[in-house]
Amino acid sequence: MNKRTKTVREAALDVIEAVEKNQSYSNLLLHSVIEKNELPSKDIGLLTELTYGTIQRKMTLDFYLAPFIKGKLDDWVRQLLRLSLYQLVYLDRIPDRAVFYEAVEIAKKRGHKGISGLVNGVLRSIQRKGLPTLDSIKDPVEMVSIETSHPYWLVKRWTEQFGLEKTRKMCETNLIAPNQSARVNTTKISREELVHQLTESGNEVKESPIVPEAVQSLRGNIAKTEAYLNGQCTIQDESSMLVSYALKLEEGMRVLDACAAPGGKTTHIAEKLSGTGEVQALDLHKHKVKLIDENASRLGLSNVKTSALDSRKAGEKFEKESFDRILVDAPCSGLGVLRRKPDIKYAKKESDLHSLQKIQLDILSAVAPLLKKDGLLVYSTCTVDRNENEGTVSSFLSDHPDFVSHPLDELPETVRSFLDGDQLQIFPQDFGGDGFFISCFRKKN
């Protein structure tokens, strides 16, 4: 058996450093570090918590550290202090002495005696003097920004769009790790049978109160179960499952999923068609198209066809007015999934939201001619932003007079209270799902 080369905290530090330095995605890096270091399952939970927690609360940790740091620090030293302080402040079950010991050992290993002394000194000072209070912050927007570790521009933007209280609640919810949810493959098994099967295999799950074909995981990883491997379920957020309802699918329909990878919505559509009709799934990248194929194959769905294609060029591949339904789950700023990808909030700039809107409108305009008359086009994003969401809807409708807004009247009863006219904006705090936006357009006869 290979000897493990790194402690959990060293592995966490590697991930945090790489995320900061290379703008890498924390979820992908974490997975590769777990594989490389062959971490036992008991350590994987701690590694995940340390990594996500430290990244998630970076701005708050920096506020706490500021009075105790004089002069410039190497990046890795700052990350080590953040990681150590995160444990001291937010994790009750780790004794302070273990945190100090590990921090000093890592500092010795990676630096020199002076650095290990500095790290020890900073942490001991914080233990002795206590954390600085946030009460010194007078601007309410800055207070939410520092307290919940969201960039000032984002908190300000959300406050202008949704009000301070809703924004505060959203930012607080973004700090809580999401529960895993899974969608039952109803072509193979009922929800009741799946719950029974997962429970028998040692997982703790319950039926989702939000979506009729969803289950929520309370303990255990559904992606590691026989039921998952046998294609009886797939991992998907409950908010994302609502899209297939918006499409108002009927058996035998031909559907285009214009931005499909990794295939969660594609396969949901295919399941709702009960193996009939056809789902054409497009994605720009071949390796991502492979993921859609693998998902469809695992779930036993033969009505999915994939192509590696920029959906802005869909008109070169498909005939005009050849689809009954089209889904554009558009590339977006991802501000609704900050619990899963905390690094996004620091990497994004306000200007990114404007450039993304142009891509979204280009895709919608490119696929619009492919829809049959009286057909439905659904636009969705995993973000929370009025300009990016409602702004895109408004621009599309004003540029395409042959389309009208269409009601989302087939959504599960449980989410209809969140509707605003013909549009659905889900906030992370609404039911614990991702922040998500859905709108539907009908092509006039």
In the block, tokens 């990248």 appear at 285
Token pair of 306 as six digits: 């994939």
CA dihedral 9, 11, 14, 20 (to 10 degrees): -70
Given a cut of 70, is residue 110 above it in pLDDT? yes
Q: Quick one: DSSP state of residue 312? A: G
Q: State mean pLDDT over 310-319.
A: 97
In this predicted structure, what is the pLDDT of residue 283? 96
In whole angstroms, give the CA distance from residue 14 to residue 33: 8
The 10 Å Cβ neighbour count of residue 203 is 21
What's phi and psi for 306, nearest 5 deg?
A: -120, 155
When pLDDT is cut at 50, 70 and 90, the band that residue 42 belongs to is: confident
In whole angstroms, give the CA distance from residue 69 to residue 72: 8
> DSSP letters of 216-234?
EEEES-GGGSHHHHTTSEE
In whole angstroms, give the CA distance from residue 103 to residue 420: 50
Given a cut of 90, is residue 125 above it in pLDDT? yes
Q: State mean pLDDT over 130-138.
A: 94
How does pLDDT run across 61-91, given as a tens digit for each residue? 999 999 999 889 999 999 999 999 999 999 9
Q: State mean pLDDT over 276-302.
A: 96
State how far Cα 437 lies from the chain centre: 13
In this predicted structure, what is the pLDDT of residue 1? 34
Amino acid at 400: H
CATH architecture of 8-132: Orthogonal Bundle (1.10)
How does pLDDT run across 185-219, given as a tens digit for each residue? 999 999 999 999 999 999 999 999 999 999 999 99
In this predicted structure, what is the pLDDT of residue 419? 97
CA dihedral 306, 309, 315, 316 (to 10 degrees): -100
In whole angstroms, give the CA distance from residue 338 to residue 348: 11
When pLDDT is cut at 50, 70 and 90, the band that residue 25 belongs to is: low
Class of the CATH domain delimited by 181-235: alpha beta
How does pLDDT run across 220-233, given as a tens digit for each residue? 899 999 999 999 99
Given a cut of 70, is residue 4 above it in pLDDT? no
Strands 254-257 and 233-235 come out as unpaired
In whole angstroms, give the CA distance from residue 158 to residue 167: 6
CATH architecture of 238-443: 3-Layer(aba) Sandwich (3.40)
What's phi and psi for 74, nearest 5 deg?
A: -60, 150
In this predicted structure, what is the pLDDT of residue 330? 96
In whole angstroms, give the CA distance from residue 162 to residue 159: 5
- Catalytic positions are 382
Q: pLDDT higher for 351 or 376?
A: 376
Task: Write down the pTM of the prediction.
Answer: 0.92
Given a cut of 60, is residue 112 above it in pLDDT? yes
CA dihedral 296, 298, 303, 309 (to 10 degrees): 20
Helix or strand holding residue 260 (H, E): none
What percentage of the chain exceeds 70 in pLDDT?
97
In this predicted structure, what is the pLDDT of residue 2? 43
In this predicted structure, what is the pLDDT of residue 113? 77
Mean pLDDT of the chain: 93
List the one residue out of 81, 140, 144 whose CA is nearest residue 115.
Answer: 81
Strands 371-381 and 323-329 come out as parallel
Each as own residue / partner, the long-range contacts of residues 212-217 (CB below 8 Å, 24 or more positions apart, any chain) are 212/412, 213/183, 213/184, 213/186, 213/241, 214/181, 214/182, 214/183, 214/184, 214/238, 214/241, 215/181, 215/182, 215/184, 215/191, 216/179, 216/180, 216/181, 217/179, 217/180, 217/181, 217/182
In this predicted structure, what is the pLDDT of residue 5? 64
With a CB cutoff of 8 Å and minimum separation 6, the contacts of 112 are none
Q: State mean pLDDT over 409-415.
A: 96
Token pair of 32 as six digits: 């590769």
In whole angstroms, give the CA distance from residue 256 to residue 376: 11
Domain range list for the chain: 8-132, 138-173, 181-235, 238-443
Given a cut of 70, is residue 23 above it in pLDDT? no
